[in-house]
A and B are shown apart, each in its own frame.
Chain A
Amino acid sequence: MENVSKEILVQMLERMWLIRHFEVRVMEVHSAGEFTGAAHPYIGEEAVAVGACAALKDTDYIAGNHRSHGHPLAKGGSVKRAMAELYGRVDGYCKGKGGSMHLADFSIGILGESGIVASSVPVATGAALAAKIRGEDFVSMVFFGDGASNQGACHESMNLAALWQLPVIFLCENNQFAVTTSYHDSVSVEHISDRAAAYDMPGVLVDGQDAIAMYEATREAVARGRAGEGPTLIEALTYRYEEHSLGLGRVRRGEYRTQDQIDEWRERDPIDVLERTLTSQGILTQEECDAISKAKEAEVEEAVEFARNSPYPEPEELFDDMWADPIPAP
């Protein structure tokens, strides 16, 4: 905490509020029918992406998963372009071709998100391999969940990264559930971070509701990566407040958790945790925190208006972006 600048602390609170308001607004406009399809709210988990990304530079890379509105926003992505993508418009990050699960901004190292769990883990490992081959000091970080931690892609990537000492940070967001299955029922070890031992790399268990703890743990992992000391597995313990996905109503019917459990986690809401720290240390007043929230709410509202006013792609754009070196259509 002593080593964390005020600038970083304030930026973390801003980005957490930005993500919170973004997700709340997405839920509203989605239920109003303004766009369709699956969307996976990140509410409750904001400290993980924000704390971790605060330790990165624009020249570092991240890759995400299906629950990934928060990751690009945490890395400084454009809220307008993210929202426009969810609306399927031309000003969206992917010109409307990717949607909620495939936000990407290659200009600031956001290598995109994958709707197949763990599928972006090998990809991020490969970006780190490029750093090693070229002798550059950028790092690569991949966000994946407790469910994804059971995929072979994860284990293969961790072995590769440890074997070749690649600068990759495996950031497991343990939000307790893979859809409705508790990680206690699907993971063979007590903590996913324990699995790091199998690959002879550091495994760190972090309170994912605490942005400062996330930032500090990630900063260490990044320093190791830049110094050529290889990968780190960070497990962030966090909680998904909402159900698995918007647009998948049937999942709500499954009883897999109690209201008590939800309430217990909400008592340690990541935004409250950070605001309490900042106000008690005299870094910000509660009024200043509230002003940040209001400003971010307004920014999200502006993004919604921007998205609504952005045109849909033209039919002739259907075949655009298939190839870097185009070939005739079959």
Chain B
Amino acid sequence: MASNAIYVEAINQAIIEEMARDQSVFIMGEDIRRSVYGATAGLLDQFGEKRVLDTPLSENGFFGAAIGASLVGMRPIVETLTSFMWVAMDQLVSQAAKMRYMFGGQATLPVVYRATMFYGGGSAAHHSDRSYPMFMNMPGFKILVPATPRDAKGLLKTAIRDNDPCIVFEDGTLGGSSGEVEEGEAALVPFGVADVPRSGTDVTVVAIAGAVPMALRSAEELEDEGVSVEVIDPRTLVPLDKDAILESVAKTGRLVVADPAHKVCSAASEVASIVSQEGFWDLQAPIMKVAAEQVHIPYTPVLERLVYPSSEKISDAVRATLED
């Protein structure tokens, strides 16, 4: 049955439903028993200390322990922030990403890393990472970037049931956004299927994570100017639904990619690369990339807001694709 939930509640529902469904699912992370970030509320009471583990501040240690537990039949969920993934990079890259291939398919690692991206709120350079492009560059991870409560819940549920390492990049700027969510099996959202939250005919805007609501605002504004924008939310970057993007560009002939991550070698770069190679003859204008500037995140709000995409920047890019 559908109900309304905010983004963080939707994540909480996904964890509760999957832990209740499957005894092999457990969750570990820092301060999760007291649910400092909201997504783990009520878990300790419902599932007990053995399956809800507060960890020491040892990311490399417990990110790796999750891998080891997954190898022998458990389904761990690890809660973290993107910024703390750097201290666990050895376990993520040397083990989680490579193990299955390196061991000729013997290893199966159903492990989920839930990494919240806090940015745009004055957290400065160490706590504002939007690091999914760096993980897209490393084969071996399935990478999810939910932009709505429905997808935050549905993709997480699918990730917990998936048998490969998944990283869910949960967008902190959307944490309080609300929307309709389903329950149980109806809530599952498949990987590799883009969502089209707005149909249009003139310009395609592929928007990632927190850029999705910006793209939708931009599309509304542009409608008043007589421009019909189609917004595509890929929802998962690995696998990427490139057919949906190419089909949309075949219809519109114009592409803007909006991505809150740094613009060099970004998810936006990859989308632009695919379309320039596989959709070149459909294009009527250069592809525009609206991604974060290639600079660290400054603390002071007057500078920080200059870094990220905005609906204004997206609208400007859309207009640029329509210039003669």
In the complex, A106→B68 CA distance in Å?
12
Contact of B104 among A98, A126, A128 (CB under 8 A): A98
Contacts of B240 in A (CB 8 A): 330
Q: How far is the CB of B84 from chain A (nearest CB, A)?
A: 13
Chain B 38-65 interface mask (CB, 8 Å, partner A; 1/0): 0000000000001101011010111111
Q: Is the CB of A160 within 8 A of B101?
A: no
Contacts of A95 in B (CB 8 A): 104-105
Whether A296 is near chain B, meaning CB under 8 Å from some CB there, is no
Whether A320 is near chain B, meaning CB under 8 Å from some CB there, is yes
Contacts of A126 in B (CB 8 A): 64-71, 76
Q: Is the CB of A123 within 8 A of B67?
A: yes
Q: Is the CB of B102 within 8 A of A157?
A: no
Contact of B140 among A94, A106, A115, A322 (CB under 8 A): A322
Q: Is the CB of A327 within 8 A of B73?
A: no
In the complex, A134→B100 CA distance in Å?
24
Contact of B107 among A112, A128, A327 (CB under 8 A): A112
Whether B3 is near chain A, meaning CB under 8 Å from some CB there, is no
Interface of A is mostly: mixed
Q: Is the CB of A130 within 8 A of B74?
A: yes
Query: Knowing A160-B55, A325-B164 touch, does A122 contact B106 (C-beta < 8 A)?
Result: no
Q: Is the CB of B60 within 8 A of A152?
A: yes
Question: Which A residues between 107 and 139 are near B, CB-CB below 8 angstroms?
Answer: 111-112, 114-116, 119-130, 132-134
Q: Is the CB of B191 within 8 A of A97?
A: no
Whether B72 is near chain A, meaning CB under 8 Å from some CB there, is yes
Whether A200 is near chain B, meaning CB under 8 Å from some CB there, is no
Contact of A122 among B50, B68, B238 (CB under 8 A): B68
Q: Is the CB of B94 within 8 A of A130?
A: no
Query: Knowing A125-B61, A130-B73, A159-B61 touch, does A327 contact B95 (C-beta < 8 A)?
Result: no
Contact of B60 among A120, A153, A164, A320 (CB under 8 A): A153
Query: Knowing A122-B64, A123-B64, A157-B64 touch, does A98 contact B103 (C-beta < 8 A)?
Result: yes
Whether A249 is near chain B, meaning CB under 8 Å from some CB there, is no
Q: Is the CB of B239 within 8 A of A328?
A: yes
Q: Which residue of A lies closest to B74 (CB)?
A: A130
Whether B99 is near chain A, meaning CB under 8 Å from some CB there, is yes
Question: Which B residues between 134 and 170 are near A, CB-CB below 8 angstroms?
Answer: 139-140, 142, 162-164
Contacts of A133 in B (CB 8 A): 26, 50-51, 69, 74
Q: Is the CB of B90 within 8 A of A116?
A: yes
Q: How far is the CB of B108 from chain A (nearest CB, A)?
A: 5
In the complex, A222→B101 CA distance in Å?
31
In the complex, A115→B102 CA distance in Å?
11
In the complex, A140→B162 CA distance in Å?
25
Q: Is the CB of B102 within 8 A of A98?
A: yes
Contact of B68 among A97, A115, A124 (CB under 8 A): A124
Q: Is the CB of B69 within 8 A of A129?
A: yes
Contact of A94 among B50, B90, B94, B104 (CB under 8 A): B104
Q: Is the CB of A156 within 8 A of B61?
A: yes
Q: Which residue of A lies closest to B242 (CB)?
A: A330
Q: Which residue of A lies closest to B99 (CB)?
A: A112
Q: Is the CB of A157 within 8 A of B100?
A: no
Q: How far is the CB of A19 from chain B (nearest CB, A)?
A: 21
Q: Is the CB of A112 within 8 A of B63?
A: no
Interface size on B, residues (CB 8 A): 53
In the complex, A105→B107 CA distance in Å?
9
Q: How far is the CB of A273 from chain B (nearest CB, A)?
A: 33
Whether B218 is near chain A, meaning CB under 8 Å from some CB there, is no
Chain A 82-105 interface mask (CB, 8 Å, partner B; 1/0): 000000000011111110001011
Whether A197 is near chain B, meaning CB under 8 Å from some CB there, is no
Q: How far is the CB of A46 from chain B (nearest CB, A)?
A: 24
Whether B91 is near chain A, meaning CB under 8 Å from some CB there, is yes
In the complex, A104→B140 CA distance in Å?
18
Query: Knowing A129-B65, A321-B100, A321-B104 touch, does A160 contact B60 (C-beta < 8 A)?
Result: no
Whether A177 is near chain B, meaning CB under 8 Å from some CB there, is no
In the complex, which of the residues B91, B103, B163 has the most CB atoms of chain A within 10 Å of its own CB atom? B103
Contacts of B60 in A (CB 8 A): 122, 152-153, 156
Query: Knowing A94-B102, A127-B69, A322-B139 touch, does A327 contact B192 (C-beta < 8 A)?
Result: yes
Q: Is the CB of A321 within 8 A of B64?
A: no
Contact of A93 among B58, B95, B104, B163 (CB under 8 A): B104
Contacts of B91 in A (CB 8 A): 119, 122-123, 153
Contacts of B56 in A (CB 8 A): 156, 159-160, 163
In the complex, A133→B65 CA distance in Å?
12
Contact of B101 among A92, A120, A322 (CB under 8 A): A322
In the complex, A5→B183 CA distance in Å?
58
Q: How far is the CB of A36 from chain B (nearest CB, A)?
A: 18
Q: Is the CB of A97 within 8 A of B64?
A: no
Whether A324 is near chain B, meaning CB under 8 Å from some CB there, is yes
Q: Which B residues have a C-beta under 8 Å from some C-beta of A?
A: 26, 50-51, 53, 55-56, 58, 60-74, 76, 90-91, 94-95, 99-110, 139-140, 142, 162-164, 191-192, 238-240, 242, 270, 274
Q: Which A residues have a C-beta under 8 Å from some C-beta of B?
A: 61, 63, 92-98, 102, 104-106, 111-112, 114-116, 119-130, 132-134, 140, 152-153, 156-157, 159-160, 163-164, 320-325, 327-328, 330
Closest 5 CB pairs of A and B: A126-B68, A122-B64, A156-B61, A94-B104, A321-B105
* Known interface pairs A94-B106, A122-B65; 20 further A-B residue pairs with C-beta atoms within 8 A, sorted by A's residue number: A93-B103, A106-B71, A106-B107, A111-B107, A112-B103, A122-B91, A123-B65, A123-B67, A126-B70, A127-B72, A130-B74, A133-B51, A133-B69, A156-B56, A321-B105, A322-B101, A324-B100, A325-B162, A327-B142, A330-B238
User: Can you report 21 A-B residue pairs in the complex whose CB atoms are below 8 A from each other?
Assistant: A114-B95, A119-B91, A119-B95, A122-B62, A122-B63, A123-B65, A123-B68, A127-B71, A129-B69, A132-B50, A133-B69, A153-B61, A153-B91, A157-B65, A160-B56, A323-B100, A324-B100, A327-B191, A327-B192, A327-B239, A330-B270
